[in-house]
Amino acid sequence: MQTSPAAAPPSTRTAREPELRAQGQAQGREASTIPPIIQVIDLQKTYQTARGTLNLFQHLNLQVEAGEMVAIVGQSGAGKSTLLHILGALDAPSAGKVYCASIDVASLSPREAAAFRNREIGYVWQFHYLLPEFTALENVAMPLLARGKSKTGVPSDGSRSLGWKREALQVAANWLREVGLEDRSDHRPGELSGGEQQRVALARALVNNPRLLLADEPTGDLDETTAGRVFDLIERLHASHGLTSILVTHNLDLAARCTRALRLESGRLAPLAYTPQTEPTAAPI
């Protein structure tokens, strides 16, 4: 496992500071002395297809500070989901560096990557992917049960096993209350509305107290009113749990509510100039 330049010895960090400041300013951020929680440097992703090589990113750079809520918009096929997958160690870069929570994600073994995802990242997708045969409560508790430990680190073996499972379910119940669904805890996903399913998915994403929330079109499958309510909830959870959030969305009104909105176009990210009711344009860097 390797750590980020920001966590490297002072001489290395000093050498990189002008480059990192320039990246941040190019993306509409103020310069900061605190290490960014996400740092992408010259990212490239290449797919070999029957039609030849597909270069998805053109030396893409991104810095995200702790506490930011960043929206990413872009046309279908621009690479938004691929970028989130790479940030969250679900996919590997073809070239370049990706540091997430100061970890070089490409340097992780599959086992380390799984532990990293469970510890640091909460994912929410357009479709909730809840397990249909389990209740809302069990679905939310699943990451804790999969981790095999209680929140306090009690291992999942021996005579204490009942205790940690009960504790996991209690933590899950607290999260269901936080997303306003304590009275739906014994419902299976098929017995929940679309908005409720997505709120359960949010609770499940955050039950391990990750630092990062990566959401890929989390409101894309919902009607406008429900989408607004789910986004309200994401905003509230982002603030109350000190999250850093990256949200992919096609909804420009929701993107405008984030602390920063970027457009992925031609393999690069640029600040989004937003005017309600009009088509977005990439602002000059």
Ligand X SMILES: Nc1ncnc2c1ncn2[C@@H]1O[C@H](COP(=O)(O)OP(=O)(O)OP(=O)(O)O)[C@@H](O)[C@H]1O
Residues in the site for Mg ion, rule: CB under 5 A? 81
Question: Of these partners, ligand X, Mg ion, none, which one is at the site of residue 82 (CB under 5 to 8 Å by kind)?
Answer: ligand X
Question: Of these partners, ligand X, Mg ion, none, which one is at the site of residue 148 (CB under 5 to 8 Å by kind)?
Answer: none
**Smaller CB separation from ligand X, 182 or 221:** 221
What lies within 8 Å, CB to CB, of 156 at 6+ separation is 148, 149, 164, 165
What is the closest distance, in whole angstroms, from the C-beta atom of residue 80 to Mg ion in the complex?
5
Question: Of these partners, ligand X, Mg ion, none, which one is at the site of residue 77 (CB under 5 to 8 Å by kind)?
Answer: ligand X
What is the closest distance, in whole angstroms, from the C-beta atom of residue 261 to ligand X in the complex?
15
**Smaller CB separation from ligand X, 140 or 230:** 230
What is the closest distance, in whole angstroms, from the C-beta atom of residue 77 to Mg ion in the complex?
8
What is the closest distance, in whole angstroms, from the C-beta atom of residue 54 to Mg ion in the complex?
15
Structure tokens at 125: 């997708």
**Smaller CB separation from ligand X, 81 or 135:** 81
Question: Of these partners, ligand X, Mg ion, none, which one is at the site of residue 33 (CB under 5 to 8 Å by kind)?
Answer: none
Q: Of 194, 202, 193, 259, which is closest to residue 233 (Cα–Cα)?
A: 202
CA dist 124 and 199 (Å) reads 10
Residue 173 identity: A
What is the closest distance, in whole angstroms, from the C-beta atom of residue 264 to ligand X in the complex?
7
Question: Of these partners, ligand X, Mg ion, none, which one is at the site of residue 47 (CB under 5 to 8 Å by kind)?
Answer: ligand X
What is the closest distance, in whole angstroms, from the C-beta atom of residue 94 to ligand X in the complex?
12
Chain contacts with ligand X (rule: CB under 6 A):
47, 49, 54, 56, 74, 76-82
**Smaller CB separation from ligand X, 33 or 76:** 76
